[in-house]
Structure 1
Amino acid sequence: MNTFIIAEIGINHNGDLKLAKKLIDTGVIAGCNAVKFQKRTIDKVYNKEMLDSPRQSPWGTTQREQKEGLEFKQEDYEVINNYCKEKGIEWFASAWDIDSQIFLRQFNLKYNKVASAMLTNISFIEEVASEGRYTFISTGMSVYDEIDRTIEVFKKKNCPFELMHCNSTYPMANDDANLKMIQKLSERYDCKVGYSGHETGTLVSICAVAAGATSIERHITMDKTLYGSDQKASIEPYELCLLVREIREVERLMGTGDKILSEAELAVKAKLRG
């Protein structure tokens, strides 16, 4: 088993390319398979009333200024694309609207991601599935009927996918992990099922691998005290390194499932059974 590990940068870069590069480096050093961002077209995702409402942030006093401060521009994504190629790590992004999904196509990314918030937006789902790229689909806040409809689209479009068990609270209480859902989703939909976590620490994510998760996605940050709504549900560099190391150890410990006597056990058998 080779768990696909995604370091979710999301919006924890705070609109700062230097910080984004540090987070990419963190993913590389830890041994992750990919890093992931989030892409939004502000005026498509949020209405004017909301954007004009007050919100204090490093970028100003309105929701619009805060949202725009967190968004990278075309030239920023070109830098990210080139930097990830230079560092030898895959990158992709979860789009929060169709325009953002179309925007991402120019980079010919290997993977797509459907965020839990977008799972019931069928017009968006059809747009993603039409690309035919391997897609990770988070299932937070979703009931079976909603997941059924999304998977029906992916199957109709013949687009490969992997579900991700998820609880969309930030941070998630460990008691809400419900990791048995990984196997249930796998059995119901006959597909790979990963885990997208928002808990503090690494224990739940490590247990998710033992429970059968084929991918792990965790938000990462350089410092949990930085500005941002996702920072506290993220893990810092030392935790990410620990997580990757422990996941690889769990993979080794889980073995093959075949009943094979090792050389050491055969020697004990010869001694105790004669």
Structure 2
Amino acid sequence: MPVHRPGPARRSRLSPAGVLLAVLSALALLLTLPTAAQADEIPPRGSARLGQGVIEHDGQGGLPTGGGAVQTEGVDVSSHQGNVAWSTLWNSGVKWAYVKATEGTYYKNPYFAQQYNGSYNVGMIRGAYHFATPDTASGAAQANYFVDNGGGWSRDGKTLPGALDIEWNPYGASCYGKSQSGMVSWIRDFLNTYKARTGRDAVIYTATSWWKQCTGNYSGFGASNPLWIARYDTSPGELPAGWGFHTMWQYTSSGPTVGDHNKFNGAYDRLQALANG
């Protein structure tokens, strides 16, 4: 019986145009993939802190030149500072502090108790802040998580209303993939839930450039929510729409002592008034 032997394999041939199309498709795919360097630049979830994107996006200018109205010095801290020497800060003239409590619905600051209670015990007026991640859970869910994990309020004269840190996304797209109207709705959801839980209007921490980009410079919160403006320069500069003045100003991330440094826009008795509601 004759043995059947297969003939030589036939090679498929692409036209020059086909080859070019295949190469372009491969290049397009590569361009959508993050490089190793880009992956290394994304910090781990939970590590975000107040003002993390301010220098990157707005730069670091000069320090306040002094003079003008009376202001009261404060700091903000997170897990990056670990256990804080609060007596040293108090003796340097720092009279108030904000402590990171939570982020999203997945992170609690492991140093919160030492930082929140320690600042209180040396005499400071202190409050807690929440780093918002609007792409991971609703505003209401994050407000509840915040209140349940350190972000509450009591009229003891030493506790500031909770602060919503809403700024550049360190883990991805600057506006967390939300439209300007979608971002405003998310913020409103958070603020309404926080007030329902605590009876206080939360402080809003943000930068004017982010606010313009991601909310369309929405003006609807200025009448009720105190503004904590982030600008590392000699003055607070332009404020977001709706606010005629700032309540607090984060003016540097490289102060003479631990944490980011801030000024309350008023004397100590006005700071007490904010705490008392």
The two structures share one fold, judged by TM-score above 0.5: no
Higher helix share: 1
Q: Which one has a bigger Cα radius of gyration?
A: 2
Q: TM-score, normalised by structure 2?
A: 0.44
Q: What is the TM-score normalised by the length of structure 1?
A: 0.44
